[in-house]
Structure 1
Amino acid sequence: MTGNRGRWPKIDEERGIEDVTLLILEWLGEQGVNATIRMDAERLADNAPAWTFAASGGPLALGTRADGRTVRQCMSVALTRLRDAGLSVPF
């Protein structure tokens, strides 16, 4: 499964990556990549980066992980790592 399936809305430049995170996960799935994002309440309580993104499979030779204190921070790092791994995520 590859390609755009017509589900991508126009990006509102005033809104952030938080608004398209689920669309990014869906796009990754269409590329054969297993991906997840989660929030860990224990790490939040410890004032540690509570958001984690993880992806593996498909065109990724190695899995990747990104952590952040906010969804924006976590996904920004994740997109950079995915692009460095050769995936041109359309965001």
Structure 2
Amino acid sequence: MNLCLQPVRVRTGSEDAESQLVFADGLLVALLTHLSDEYGDEAGMWFLEVGFGSVDDPRCPKFTDLEEAQDWISRKLAASPAHGGAGGAP
């Protein structure tokens, strides 16, 4: 699986406009938003604004950097039946 990030600015309704679209094998799987200074101790972290398919997570996790976010997304996708992970077809 190949993850690709594309920088994008998103109108989030707050100062958090810096974002990254995350594609897996050419398919959009997530939108990550960089948290601004208004988030205090969490400023600079990356937030799962939205995930699609197996990357959807109601807990909306936060990550210290984009590498951690990509690792998490890769694990979620690998566990998905659609990507041949646990529970997928042989």
TM tier relative to shorter chain: 0.3 to 0.5
Q: Which has the higher helix share?
A: 1
Q: Which has the higher strand share?
A: 2
> What TM-score do the two structures reach when normalised by structure 1?
0.47
Q: Highest relative contact order (Cα 8 Å, sep 6+), 1 or 2?
A: 1
> What TM-score do the two structures reach when normalised by structure 2?
0.47
